[in-house]
Amino acid sequence: MKVSLLPGMSLLFLSLFFWGCNSQSDEELIKDCDGLAMKYYRGLPRPAELYKEHCQAKESELEYNPDLCKRAMGDLMLKGNERRLKKMFGDRVMECFNEGDLKRFLKVPMVKESKE
């Protein structure tokens, strides 16, 4: 019986490839505490860990923090209006929500920003 190492090696290669293609390094994430706060609110494990280690102590200085995301989520659930959310909480507030939140509660489709 022949045993091929290729399937296992392929899996290892793919795992390393996807791990290496992480969209942002930890150093880049740490520079954006507002972004980490919103990812922490969404429950993303690695950003949550980085937020606790590097940003939570200066939470009161942040423009976006988990408390703001919580208030914005309440408004999203009750009103479901992207423009209203951005006007009340700022342009980046939509980063507080995952796709499921937006599909479930957003009553008006998200505005596509043009890249001009």
Whole-number mean pLDDT of the chain?
83
Q: Quick one: the chain helix, strand, coil %, rounded to 5?
A: 70, 0, 30
Q: Encode pLDDT of 41-52 as tens digits.
A: 999 999 999 999
116 is a domain residue:
no
Structure confidence at residue 8 (pLDDT): 54
Local confidence band at 30 (pLDDT 50, 70, 90 cut-offs):
confident
What is the dihedral angle through the alpha carbons of 34, 40, 76, 113, rounded to the nearest 10 degrees? Answer: 50
Find, among 83, 76, 111, 116, the residue nearest to 97 by Cα: 76
12 is a domain residue:
no
87 is a domain residue:
yes
Residue 46 belongs to domain spanning: 26-105
88 is a domain residue:
yes
Q: How many domains does the chain have?
A: 1
- For the chain, what percent of residues have pLDDT higher than 70? 72
More confident residue, 10 or 17: 10
Residue 112: DSSP 8-state: P
63 is a domain residue:
yes
17 is a domain residue:
no
Residues 6+ apart with CB under 8 A from 100: none
H, E, C per residue of 67-106: HHHHHHHHHHHHCCCHHHHHHHHCHHHHHHCCHHHHHHHC
Do the Cβ atoms of 73 and 96 come closer than 8 Å?
yes
pTM above 0.75, yes or no: no
101 is a domain residue:
yes
Mean pLDDT of 77-98: 96
18 is a domain residue:
no
